[in-house]
């Protein structure tokens, strides 16, 4: 089983590769040398209990654990 973190790391490595972006650009446009803009996903923030944070929560709504935002204040 592959976890999301290692999959995201591998995707970032592939997207950073010039040969992959050249091939993708040619597939998208049909022209050599076209540089497509590849949107990079933001990392997923999770609580220790497994809850996926949606934004700027200070505390986990499931377990009440303070998030990194609450810890900085």
- The reply to whether 19 and 29 lie within a common domain is yes
- The reply to whether 26 and 59 lie within a common domain is no
Domain of 33, in residue numbers:
1-40
Residue with the larger pLDDT of the pair 72 and 49: 49
pLDDT digits (tens, 9 = 90+) for 18-60: 777 788 778 888 887 777 676 777 777 888 898 988 877 889 9
- The reply to whether 28 and 10 lie within a common domain is yes
Judge whether 36 and 42 are in contact, CB under 8 Å: no
> What are 52's strand-pairing partners?
46
Judge whether 47 and 64 are in contact, CB under 8 Å: no
Task: Evaluate if residue 14 carries a pLDDT over 70.
Answer: yes
- The reply to whether 34 and 9 lie within a common domain is yes
- The reply to whether 57 and 25 lie within a common domain is no
Residue with the larger pLDDT of the pair 11 and 61: 61
DSSP secondary structure letters along 6-70: HHHHHHHHHHH-HHHHHHHHHHHHSSTT-----PPPPPPPB-TTSPBP-S--SB-TTT--B-HHH
- The reply to whether 47 and 60 lie within a common domain is yes
Total tally of structural domains belonging to the chain: 2
């Amino acid at each position: 089983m592959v976890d999301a973190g290692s999959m995201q790391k591998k995707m970032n490595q592939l997207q950073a590769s010039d040969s992959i972006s050249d091939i993708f650009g040619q597939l998208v446009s049909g022209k050599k040398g076209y540089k497509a803009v590849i949107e990079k996903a933001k990392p997923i923030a999770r609580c220790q209990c497994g809850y996926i944070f949606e934004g700027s929560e200070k505390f986990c709504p499931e377990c009440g654990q303070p998030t990194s935002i609450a810890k900085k204040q």
